[in-house]
Amino acid sequence: MVRSATTEARRVIGIASTFRIISCVGLIASSMCTPSSAAVDGVRIGVLAPGPLDAITDVAGVRVGQVTLIEGAAGPLVPGVGPVRTGVTVILPNADPWEQRVAAATYALNGNGEMTGTHWVNEAGFLEVPIALTNTLDVPRVDDGVISWLIAKHPGIGVDEDVPLPVVAECDDQGINDIEGRHVSPADTVRALDGARTGPFDRGDVGAGTGMRAFGFKAGIGTASRLTGAAAGGYTVGVLVNANTGSREQLRIAGVPIGRVFARELLPTIAKHTSYAPHGRAADGSIIVTIATDAPLDSRQLHELAVRATLGLARTGATSYVSSGDLLIAFSTTHVYPRDPAHPLPASVVNEDDVLDALYSATAEATEAAVDDALFSAKTMSGARGLTYYALPVERVRAIVERERAALPASVGPAAAR
C-alpha cells in the first residue's frame, strides 16, 4: 500500500526525538546540552572567536525548528513508500517576521536549485517570512505549511492584509531517501515552525539534513558563529548550512586536505545486486547557506555578506559545479522594517569600512566552520537501496590537523594555522 508520512511514521519519529532529548538531558552536567560543533570537537577553524553556542542562534532572537522524518529499515527503494530519510528545518529572524520584517538579500553562486521568494526579498530589501529548508520535491508542501502557519498567526492575510511569498530552499536527498514519496507534509512544516526556539539545536542528520551527504561523507545541518570583537562593533555573525555538496578529493578542513587522506576509505556503499548512478543535481549536490547578523546592515550590505560566504565554501574545497544549487540568504536582526506604518523605519546602518571588513571575515569563517560542523555532527546512516553514507571520523581528523599544525615553523602560531 502506497503511503507517505503516515501515523506510523510520526510514531517512529516521536520515539527518535525522545531518544535525542533523553541523551541531551543526560549531558547537561558536562556540556549544558550544547550540540556538537567544530569548536566543541576540538578542531579550531579560523582565527576569530565563536559565540557561546557556535551557532546561528548566537545572534539574539534567531530561532531554529526542525522535524526529522525517519521511517523504514534500510533496504530496497519502493517509490512512494520508503525508506524515508528526510525532514524540514526552519529559521526565523525573530518571533514574528511578518510584523517585524528584517533587512535581507540573497545571492546565487550557482542556480541549479531552488529558493523561492527571492525576487521579492531582493526587490523589497527585507525578509517577512521564515526561511524553510527541505528536499527538492517537497518545496511546494513546505511552502503550503509556511502559508498555513502565517495565516493562523495573522488571519487578515489575504483578507485585508498582504499575502506572503515563502522562502523555501531545497537540496536533493534522493540517495538514501524516497524523495518521490514527498513525505514532508505541510503539517510537519507547521510543527517545525511552532517548535522553533532560540538556543541550542540538533545538527547533522536532522531536519532537512537527514538525507544529505557532503564530500562523500554523511552530512546535513551545520552551524557556526563568529564575533567581530569590540573594536569592530562587537557584532555576531551566525551561519546555518544544509550541506549536500562536494566530492571526496576536494575536502579540506582547517586547510588540511583531509579528502585525500580518506580517498579510499569510508566511501559510500550500496546493497549487493543494486546499482545507483546519480546524475544531474544528485551527482554533485547543493548547499543552502543562511547568514544572520545583529549588525545593522541594509540589503545592499547583506548581499555583500552573502557573497563573502562563498569564500568560506571555497576554504572547504567545495567547487560550484553546473549541477549544483548553491544559494545563499543573509539578514540583519537589528535593521527592522515594521509593518505597522506608525513605527519608525531604521535610521542608520554600519558605515565604517573596518567594521564591514570584520563582518566579511566573520561571515567567511563562520561559513567554513558551519560546513565542517555538518560533517562533524552527522552519524553514519543507511537508507534507500541499502545505500550507506559514513560519518567523518572526527578523532582521526583532529589528530591529522594537530599533526599538520605541529609541523609548522615555531614562529607560526595556532591562529595562523590554516
Give residue-wise pLDDT tens across range 261-294.
999 999 999 987 777 766 666 666 899 999 999 9
Neighbours of 356 (CB within 10 A): 21
**From CA 408, how far away is CA 413, in angstroms rounded?**
8
Look at residue 73 and tell me if it is in a domain.
yes
**Catalytic site residue 326?**
yes
Look at residue 2 and tell me if it is in a domain.
no
Q: Give the mean model confidence (pLDDT) for residues 136-146.
A: 98
Among 326, 372, 373, 377, which one carries the catalytic annotation? 326
What is the tens place of the pLDDT at every residue in 317-327?
A: 999 988 899 99
Query: Looking at 24-38, 138-152, 343-357, which range is the least confident one?
Result: 24-38
Q: Given a cut of 90, is residue 156 above it in pLDDT?
A: yes
Instruction: With beta carbons less than 8 A apart as the criterion, state whether 266 and 214 touch.
Output: no
User: pTM of the predicted model, to two decimals?
Assistant: 0.89
Question: Domain total for the chain?
Answer: 1
Q: Give the mean model confidence (pLDDT) for residues 339-366.
A: 94
Average pLDDT, the chain: 89
Q: How far is CA 289 from CA 4, 138, 243, in A?
A: 28, 18, 8
- Show the cell assigned to 342: 506608525
Domain that holds residue 120: 7-416
Q: Which residue has the higher pLDDT, 61 or 2?
A: 61
Beta bridge partner(s), residue 282: none
Look at residue 208 and tell me if it is in a domain.
yes
Q: Given a cut of 70, is residue 32 above it in pLDDT?
A: no
**What does the pLDDT read at residue 77?**
96
Q: Give the mean model confidence (pLDDT) for residues 165-192.
A: 98
Residue 150: what are its φ and ψ, rounded to 5°?
-65, -40
Q: Given a cut of 70, is residue 184 above it in pLDDT?
A: yes
Among 324, 361, 377, 382, which one carries the catalytic annotation? 324
Look at residue 251 and tell me if it is in a domain.
yes
Look at residue 1 and tell me if it is in a domain.
no
**From CA 365, how far away is CA 293, in angstroms rounded?**
14
Beta bridge partner(s), residue 111: 325
Q: What CATH number has the domain bearing residue 264?
A: 3.60.70.12
Helices 353-377 and 299-315, packing angle to 10 deg? 50
Q: Given a cut of 50, is residue 65 above it in pLDDT?
A: yes
The residue type found at 118 is T
Q: Given a cut of 60, is residue 418 above it in pLDDT?
A: no
Give the three-class secondary structure for 335: strand
Q: Given a cut of 60, is residue 3 above it in pLDDT?
A: no
Residue 385: what are its φ and ψ, rounded to 5°?
70, 5
Q: Given a cut of 80, is residue 387 above it in pLDDT?
A: yes
**From CA 356, how far away is CA 399, in angstroms rounded?**
35
**From CA 159, how far away is CA 405, in angstroms rounded?**
61
Residues 6+ apart with CB under 8 A from 5: 69, 71, 84, 183, 184, 185, 188
**Catalytic site residue 58?**
no
**What does the pLDDT read at residue 42?**
76
Look at residue 233 and tell me if it is in a domain.
yes
Among 225, 286, 320, 323, which one carries the catalytic annotation? 286
| Helix spans in 236-333 (H) | 258-261, 281-284, 299-315
**What does the pLDDT read at residue 282?**
64
**Catalytic site residue 382?**
no
